[in-house]
Structure 1
Amino acid sequence: MQLPIKAIWVFHTAARAGSVARAAEQLSVTPSAVSQQIQALEVQLGVTLVNRVGRGLALTEAGERYFAMIGDELERVAEATSIIRGQRAITSLKVRATPTLSNKWLLPRLGRFLDTHPELEVRLDGTNEPTDFNRELVDVEIRHGDGRWPGLFVEGLGPENFVPVCAPSLAAPASLTPEQVMQFRLIRSVKSQAQWPRWLSDAGVQHDFDWKAVLFDRSHMAIDAACDGMGIALESNLMMWRELRDGLLVNPVRGAPGIRLTTQWIVCPTDHLRLKRVRVFLDWLREEYRRWSETEAILP
């Protein structure tokens, strides 16, 4: 029997994309052409592979098994074809992450991933907008939040410690009591899960809301403002490890309590975990966090 290679590749692309329209866009054909190829493959195999669900598609049990069996093999065929043609095999990996994580933690480490995986071309989008995986061509997202997103694969990157910090020119390390923090301008990241009222309560400081404050909607702006001596920020050591390492920020409070939270989460559809490019990126992320937590997670 002659293998219907074209139909198999179209099915694989559609199953990976989760949508006929998105598969058509990737293959530069019409959606009806994608549907026709999948139907032809179903006729040859004698099973139903996909069901339409709104604008997307869902794999049947047979479709799930078939996709799992052919996925890695088709990627190897594509890579081998490129090599024989004398081309360098390039696979695109699209990652979405919050602006602060992108700038402060991911970007300084990304070169190591690229050096290890030269076959991957990475696109990094820095945004706080959650991905609609049914409509957007994103392989994996690192999302800020509480980790509750039903229907998706969700894994915490790891715990962070939120502590008060400021420029050493504003206040020396361990030079203030928790009560004296109220004498300074407090820098607030409005989307942060760790906020000053909780920290002040944990420190036993009586407080009201008549305080000097400046608010930012991005944590990297709050960190930079603290480095510039604008006030005292309550931020994550995951995001400001480099500023702490270089002495641009210090903890000015003696016996300051910390707030320990996991706020960054690896998120993607479960079927994306079948993709080799996603698996190697997630393995790298886990190793980078482990390395950071053991060697670079500076606690002021």
Structure 2
Amino acid sequence: MDWRDIPSLSALKAFEATARLGSFSAAARELNVTHAAIAQHVRGLEAEFGAELAFREGTGMALTEAGRALSLSLGEGFGTIASGVRDIGALRQNQPLKVALTATFAENWLMPRIGAFWAEHPDIEVALQPSNAVVDMRRDGFDLAIRYGHGDWAGLEAELLVHANYVVVACPELAAKTNDTTMLGLCSLPWVFEAGRMEQRVWAEEVGLDLSCTTSIDLPTNSLVLSATRGGAGLSIQTRAMVEGDLQRGTLVCLQEAPVSTLGYYLATRPVPRSQALKTFIRWLKSAAA
């Protein structure tokens, strides 16, 4: 297609609306422009084609033979475009919401709650994709990412879902073995860490835990760390949001807690219009967090 052979699309829209509605004024109202702008577009097309397209008849506009032919072609062409746009919109609405999040957040915060969402909104399909990798939301087609941090990711809009400051937790039986709950006093107890994640270790050393004289076990995922902690294998450092349920049930007890900061789990979205399904899911997440 050579776009140089096609007149201004704004002018073609103005003429199509005039032909369909029968007047410059009606076309102007539909396209939210002035009567004069519609008339100028139509007369510009006539000058470009070298043929009259429309003429005044009574209080409206009538079409010449050339105008009727152009109107028919534009109606078919714009109709095809409108149909394609509607199809793409319907495809997006019918696709499941694609949500990126960590496996730990999915297992310990979201999954115990999401049954309520499914019960309330059985028509909205949510595709959860747990991973510790930081995804490219635009490239990978994610509607939402639930990320841990301070909420300052370039190119994304972020809203705090839950605060998630570090806490040191243990099962009640292991916690009962010490009266000294300072980090220095907790050095004598065994610890469990997730292999490859250094954030908790750095924080622990900053607040007084001497890892060089502490017995510790490394496990491949935080889910295993939590299971081992619940079973009494050692103390672990968790974000409070991940163990809130355990603390309420008494399966874990908190021995140390970091001061509240901007650290938390954030709802990260791209700066594009949100589908109704995404708005509904985000609204439910905020309600569940509250």
Shorter-chain TM-score range: 0.5 to 0.7
| CA positional deviation for 1:109 | 0.9
Aligned to 1:274: 274
Amino acid at match of 1:7: I
Aligned to 2:187: 182
Whether contact under 8 Å (1:194, 1:234) holds in the other structure is: no
Counterpart-to-counterpart distance in 2, 1:217 and 1:130: 18
Amino acid at match of 1:198: W
Aligned to 1:283: 283
Counterpart-to-counterpart distance in 1, 2:157 and 2:86: 20
Q: Does 1:10 align with 2:14?
A: no
Q: Does 1:166 align with 2:179?
A: no
115, 121, 127: which one pairs with 2:119?
Answer: 115
* Structure 2 runs not aligned, ≥5 long: 1-19, 21-74
Aligned to 1:209: 212
137, 140, 149: which one pairs with 2:141?
Answer: 137
Structure number with larger C-alpha Rg: 2
Whether contact under 8 Å (1:226, 1:232) holds in the other structure is: yes
| CA positional deviation for 1:215 | 2.7
Amino acid at match of 2:269: C
Cα RMSD after superposing both structures: 3.0
Aligned to 1:62: none
Aligned to 1:221: 224
| CA positional deviation for 1:91 | 5.5
Amino acid at match of 1:139: D
Alignment: residue pair count: 214
Counterpart-to-counterpart distance in 1, 2:265 and 2:196: 13
Whether contact under 8 Å (1:191, 1:218) holds in the other structure is: no
| CA positional deviation for 1:193 | 7.7
76, 97, 107: which one pairs with 2:101?
Answer: 97
242, 246, 267: which one pairs with 1:243?
Answer: 246
Whether contact under 8 Å (2:170, 2:229) holds in the other structure is: yes
Q: Does 1:234 align with 2:237?
A: yes
Counterpart-to-counterpart distance in 2, 1:265 and 1:193: 21
Counterpart-to-counterpart distance in 1, 2:111 and 2:209: 40
Matches within 5 A, 1:29-108: 92-108=96-112
- Aligned identity (percent) is 24
TM-score (norm 2): 0.63
Counterpart-to-counterpart distance in 2, 1:12 and 1:197: 52
Amino acid at match of 1:184: L
Deviations 1:196-250 (A, max 9, x none): 4534543xx4736342222345332221111111111111221112222222111
SS in structure 1 at match of 2:224: helix
SS in structure 1 at match of 2:113: helix
* Structure 1 runs not aligned, ≥5 long: 17-25, 28-70, 76-89, 291-300
Does the C-alpha gap of structure 1 residues 144 and 9 become closer, same or farther in structure 2, counting only changes over 3 Å? farther
Counterpart-to-counterpart distance in 1, 2:101 and 2:209: 37
Counterpart-to-counterpart distance in 2, 1:277 and 1:206: 46
| CA positional deviation for 1:278 | 1.0
Counterpart-to-counterpart distance in 1, 2:140 and 2:87: 14
Whether contact under 8 Å (1:200, 1:207) holds in the other structure is: yes
TM-score (norm 1): 0.61
Deviations 1:153-185 (A, max 9, x none): 222223123221111222229833313200012
Higher helix share: 2
Q: Does 1:152 align with 2:156?
A: yes
